[in-house]
Amino acid sequence: MADLIKILIFLSGSAALGFILGRRSRNSDVAVHEHQANEQRRAFVEVKNRLDRCTAKRAGLERELAQLQKAKPTARSTPAVKTPPVTKAPQKDAPKAKAPNLATPKKKETKPKPKTAASKQEEAIERVKAKAQQIDFDRIGRASEAEKDDLKKIKGVGPFLEKKLNALGIYTFAQIANFTDEDKERVNDAIEFFPGRISRDNWVGQAKSLRN
């Protein structure tokens, strides 16, 4: 009898343990199913959101395309402009070139006339006048044509050289007598005379003796 009671107790404990274990397994299965269902819901929501965004973007592109199609000019809106036919003007006969008149003589080329001695002298006088500012008249003195001496009396001074001295502003023996070495060089250069000729011919000494 005691053994039977022990067997009954064991069987009842085993059944209770099996019930508890079965209940736990059912609870775990339910949790797994709920987790899977939650994952599916999240995936569905994500895919739906992406689909909504694509749909909105497509709608915007369709609106932009419709605006571009409205703005595009059609072939009917711009009628083609017909260009009038080009009519060629009647060509006139070109005037015939006249034959050269061989009877008319050709003009002879005029060569420039050679310069005369007088024109060369005038050019030289003008060059001398342009150099008058090089002479220190405050030192040698000033004179006019009314006070003119006959400078040809100085040895080495000819008629043309006298004209050059007069063009430079030198008219008198007194002016030449006051020449310094610097004045000799400047006057020599101005009248385009041979270098050192005024000193060699002793213009200063001759002028001093002629002015007395």
Lookup: tokens for 94 = 């070109």
Express each pLDDT in 194-205 by its tens digit.
888 899 999 999
CB of 177 within 8 A of CB of 185?
no
Least confident stretch, 24-28, 164-168, 173-177: 24-28
The whole-angstrom separation of Cα 49 and Cα 42 is: 11
At 96 the pLDDT is 62
Task: Give me the chain's average pLDDT, please.
Answer: 80
Is pLDDT at 73 greater than 70 in this prediction?
no
Cα–Cα separations (whole angstroms), residue 30 to 38, 41, 88, 139: 12, 16, 101, 139
Domain ranges of the chain: 8-72, 117-211
At 143 the pLDDT is 93
Express each pLDDT in 107-146 by its tens digit.
666 666 667 877 888 999 999 999 999 999 999 999 999 9
Find the farthest-apart pair of alpha carbons in the chain and give their distance in angstroms, rounded: 196
The whole-angstrom separation of Cα 195 and Cα 89 is: 82
Greatest mean pLDDT among 32-41, 60-69, 168-177 lies in 168-177
Is pLDDT at 93 greater than 80 in this prediction?
no
At 203 the pLDDT is 94
**Of 187, 205, 207, residue with least CA distance to 196:** 187
Write the secondary structure of 53-122 as one string of H (helix), E (strand) and C (coil): HHHHHHHHHHHHHHHHHHHCCCCCCCCCCCCCCCCCCCCCCCCCCCCCCCCCCCCCCCCCCCCCHHHHHH
